[in-house]
Chains A and B, each alone.
Chain A
Amino acid sequence: MWRILRYIILLSAAGWCAVLPAQDEAEPAAEAEEQEPEKMPLYQGVLVEADAFSAVMSAVWSDRYSFEAGVRVDLRDKFFPAFEMGVAGADRTSVNGYGFKTDGVFFRIGGDYNLLKPTPPEARIQRYFLIGVRYAFSPFAYDVTDIRVDNGYWSDDVMRDYLGVRTVQHWMEVVGGLHVEVARNLYLGWGVRWKIRFGSDDTGEVSPWFIPGIGIKSIGNVGFNYTVGYKF
C-alpha cells in the first residue's frame, strides 16, 4: 500500500515539477504571440490518455477494479471535445454475507475548456488547465446474492438471489485538471471529477451497490485521475 502511494506521490511531484519550468519558458513565447497575433489552425491534434490512478487503485482494492482511457481533440488549444470509456467491476461479499457482482463498461462524452493562454506551437512545453463537463452512462447487469430475509419468530430465514438485474445508469460530471507535456508529445495530467447521478432508486428496487464509472454508489461522487497521454 505504502509503496503504491509513494509511487503516486512521485508521479504527482513529477507533474508539478514539469509545470513550474514550463511557465517560465513559455511566457516569452506567449508575449511574442500577443505582439504578433497569428491565427492558429483549428485542429491541433488528438490527445490520447490512459488513467494510471484507477489502474493503481485497482491493485489496491481487493473487491473492485476500474480502467479507463480517453481521447481529446485539441481545437486551437482552447476547446477539447472529449470521449472517454472504461471497464469496471466489483465482486464483494459484505460483512452480512450478502454478495454483489458486476462487470460493465461506461462511456463519457463532453468537452473541456483551457483556462490557460494557448502556447505557440514553437514553445517547448505545452500545458493545459482544463475544466469541462461530461455526460456519462453505463449499461450493465449485476447479481445480488445471499440476501437473508428475516422471518424471525415464524420460521428459518429465507435466502434471496437477484440474478442478472439489468440497468442503465446516467450521470454528469464536472471535471477539472492540469495536463503538461513532460517530453515531446508525452503528457502527464491530474484531474478531479464531481459526479452527479441522474434519477434515484425506486422504493424496493434492487439497486446496484457499485456502478461502473461511478464506483461504490454511496461514496462514489468524487473521482480522481492521474493520466498518461500522447498527443498525435
Chain B
Amino acid sequence: MLACVLLLAACKEDEQCRMERYVRLYAGFYQMNLNAASGERTEGRLYVDTLSVQGMGLDGYIYDRVPRKDSVQLVLNNQADVSEFVLTFEDTLRQQVVADTLSVYYRRTESYLSFECGCLYTFTLDTALTRSTRHFIDSIVINSIEVNTANVENIKIYHTP
C-alpha cells in the first residue's frame, strides 16, 4: 500500500509532445526524356542546378541558392486559402537565372492534437499551377491532395530541357 501511495504521489504527467506535427507540401522535380530509339517519352528525376524558393511578397527564403535539389518541402500559409511561391532556377554553367511563380490553392483543416501538442493545420489541395510565367516549369501534376504529417509527394513539377 505504501508503494502504491508513493507511486501515485510520484506520478507526474509528461508534457512532451510526442506526436508528429511537421506538415509540409512535398514537391518533386521531373523531366520528360525522349528515347531516340523508341520515340517514347519517359519520366525521370530532375536535379535543379541551383534553386531558391521564397514566399510571394516575403523577404525570407525557404531555400536560398541550394545546389542539386530534386525536391522541396514547402510550408503552406494556414491563415489563407492560397500560398504563392517564387521559384528561382539558376544554371551556373550557362549563367542563366529564371523564375516561376507556383500558386497552390487548398482547403484548410484545423485539428486539436492534445494539451501537450496544441493544434495544427492540415490541407487538402485543390489546384497547383504556375501563373503567367512558364520559364522553367512546363506543368504541374497533383500526386496526392492531402498535405499532412505523412511524408508523401504531393505535387510533381515538370520541366522539359
Contacts and interface: CB of A to CB of B under 8 A. Distances in A.
Contact of B75 (A5, A147, A153): A153
Interface residues of B, number: 32
Nearest to A63: B13
Interface in A63-115: 92, 94-96, 98, 100
A12 interface: yes
Given A151-B79, A154-B58, A204-B109, A98 B118 contact: yes
B30 to A, nearest CB: 25
A207 B115 CA distance: 8
A92 B116 CA distance: 12
Contact of B78 (A60, A149, A222): A149
B115 A154 contact: no
B13 A216 contact: yes
A219 B13 contact: yes
B87 to A, nearest CB: 15
Interface residues of A, number: 40
B62 interface: yes
Interface string A144-187: 10011111111100101010000000000000000000000000
A100 B118 CA distance: 11
A8 interface: yes
A151 B120 CA distance: 9
A224 interface: yes
Give the interface SS of chain B, mostly helix, strand, loop or mixed: mixed
Contact of A5 (B6, B83, B110): B6
B8 interface: yes
Interface string B1-36: 110111011010111000000000000000000000
Nearest to A99: B115
A40 interface: no
A153 B115 contact: no
Nearest to B77: A154
Contacts of A154: 55, 58, 75, 77-80, 83
B119 interface: yes
Given A9-B2, A148-B118, A154-B78, 18 more contacts: A5-B6, A9-B5, A12-B1, A57-B9, A94-B116, A96-B15, A100-B115, A144-B115, A147-B112, A149-B118, A153-B55, A154-B75, A154-B83, A160-B119, A203-B111, A204-B109, A207-B114, A209-B115
Interface of A: 1, 5, 8-9, 12, 53, 57, 60, 92, 94-96, 98, 100, 144, 147-155, 158, 160, 162, 190, 192, 203-207, 209, 216, 218-219, 222, 224
29 contacts: A5-B6, A8-B5, A9-B5, A12-B5, A53-B5, A94-B115, A147-B112, A149-B78, A149-B110, A149-B120, A151-B79, A152-B75, A153-B55, A153-B58, A153-B75, A154-B55, A154-B77, A155-B77, A158-B78, A160-B110, A204-B109, A204-B111, A207-B112, A209-B114, A218-B13, A218-B14, A219-B11, A219-B13, A224-B4
